[in-house]
Structure 1
């Protein structure tokens, strides 16, 4: 067993489950009850976390603190931790930008180390095995790998730069979560016209992910001149069906950055991405 004491901020559905996995190897996993809901209490009890009444007590006792909270609260929480003069390892594992993670690292001057973390996957319950991507000082990331060894939380160290794990998390989330919204819009539009089953039948014939085919980006750029107007038409139909059209209009605006790549079959992935950065 790892003799560390771990603190979790705060035990939401992901945080509590991750903390529960940490409890497998840590001597103690603490959480702070101040201002938390009955649901938080229930989750903490379910995963065997030890309650403490104040943030200061948690930070005084913890060797490592893992921050898993709503993104908007991440910096405020880090400021609270800094004000308590925390001197252990702080794991910033929220879905926030690399720049915000770097700002948080700058706040925690008294910390032994700040590690950038990003959880990809569902909470580690009922057979789910998310990956905690890590970047930061080697000794601190190695300690976290040992902490979660043999648990449902897999770890993957990306390097030493603060911001790498956050960037990977948001790069994946930008596709994974937006794609779910696109599914809702596509199904909603098809349902409005009574063809939702046909849409599902079309999609079922292709089960792989475009995210795994970056070479397709150049082909997309070459076709953007006609795909953009097509999406504008689709956006008009969404609006007519009472569905929000903004996402498709934004996609059409993005495609417009490739207007001068019309039918360019020699366009490379590098060229396509470069054009995408130029308004």
Structure 2
């Protein structure tokens, strides 16, 4: 069966791969350009049946949709890559560009302006991803007949929510747009650029802000030798919080470097849209400080060396606390010495 449409994904990290697998399971062709990227990235694309193209020009010529899912610090540069490639070669069919990065409304509007100025034919869509990477659901119900529905149907996948905004709608695209929007769980919330990215930042304020608070609390408690008691008290009074911490904190180390700029983008969002102090400059406001927590994880401890496919340390709440304590105390000794 011919693919419904071709989707280019930049880049193929944990979330990009999850979305690629979901789309491939629903008869989409998924392509990427990872020229010059690491062997790990090359292997990840091959292992997950993502077709690699030699250049951004090839990507633009081939894809009907391009999803930008990169570290927040790379969002603008990735958009510039695509506008440059788009203007190098002609493209007879529409091209939709979905910026799904964790950026502020201010940054989303800047990227939208870039497209409007240099590649107005590209339909720009502001978006954000709320939740984990797509994955097939584990079925507990055995299939009893050969006529049972195929496993890879939309309702049998765990999917994040993807709010999108802007004047263009994926569902209006003649290139299987309505099917693609349904498959991805897209929710068009506004015709205004910035609404979707702002919503994402507000959600991440709660989820990743909570994780950062947990990192500080458990690290300090571990250094003091009272972590076990802290967790016992929290289990007694706030069991849901401990459950969330045990799920979220160990999953954080491979992503900490990405979350530094994301916290700064969140600070910009709260300053611009909420009126709070702290505009994203390093260390300003609550989320400027939280950015420092994630920078410490990424740069001051061996947790910053963790890769999603090869986890060694920080796989439990207790080990995150131990490694963080060791790294920060070593930094303190080095600074004071």
Give the shorter-chain TM-score range.
Answer: 0.5 to 0.7
Q: Give the match for residue 45 of structure 2.
A: 44
Given the alignment, which residue of 166, 169, 172 partners 2:200?
Answer: 169
Residue 179 to residue 149, structure 1, CA distance change in 2 (3 Å): same
Q: Unpaired runs of 5+ in structure 1?
A: 210-240, 245-279
Given the alignment, which residue of 173, 179, 186 partners 1:146?
Answer: 179
Q: Give the match for residue 156 of structure 1.
A: 187
Question: 1:157 offset after TM fit, Å?
Answer: 2.3
How many residue pairs get matched?
Answer: 211
Residue 242 to residue 17, structure 1, CA distance change in 2 (3 Å): closer
Q: TM-score, normalised by structure 2?
A: 0.56
* Structure 1 position 201 matched with structure 2 position 232: yes
Question: 1:29 offset after TM fit, Å?
Answer: 1.3
Question: 1:2 offset after TM fit, Å?
Answer: 6.5
State the distance in 2 between where 1:172 and 1:53 align: 36
Residue 36 to residue 199, structure 1, CA distance change in 2 (3 Å): same
Residue 36 to residue 170, structure 1, CA distance change in 2 (3 Å): same
Q: Does the 8 Å contact 2:125/2:168 carry over to 1?
A: no
Question: 1:166 offset after TM fit, Å?
Answer: 0.8
Task: Give 4+ residue runs of structure 1 displaced > 4 Å after superposition.
Answer: 141-145, 241-244
Q: Give the match for residue 8 of structure 2.
A: 7
Q: Does the 8 Å contact 2:8/2:66 carry over to 1?
A: yes
Higher-Rg structure is 1
Given the alignment, which residue of 165, 168, 172 partners 1:135?
Answer: 165
Deviations, residues 187-244 of structure 1 (Å, cap 9, x unaligned): 22223333222221222222457xxxxxxxxxxxxxxxxxxxxxxxxxxxxxxx8997
Question: 1:126 offset after TM fit, Å?
Answer: 5.9
Q: Does the 8 Å contact 2:104/2:197 carry over to 1?
A: yes
Residue 157 to residue 2, structure 1, CA distance change in 2 (3 Å): farther
Q: Give the match for residue 117 of structure 1.
A: 127
State the superposition RMSD in angstroms: 2.6
Question: 1:35 offset after TM fit, Å?
Answer: 1.3
Residue 193 to residue 139, structure 1, CA distance change in 2 (3 Å): closer
Q: Does the 8 Å contact 1:134/1:158 carry over to 2?
A: yes
For the residue of structure 1 that corresponds to 2:169, the secondary structure is helix
For the residue of structure 1 that corresponds to 2:61, the secondary structure is helix
Q: Unpaired runs of 5+ in structure 2?
A: 88-93, 138-157, 242-324, 329-337
Residue 24 to residue 145, structure 1, CA distance change in 2 (3 Å): farther
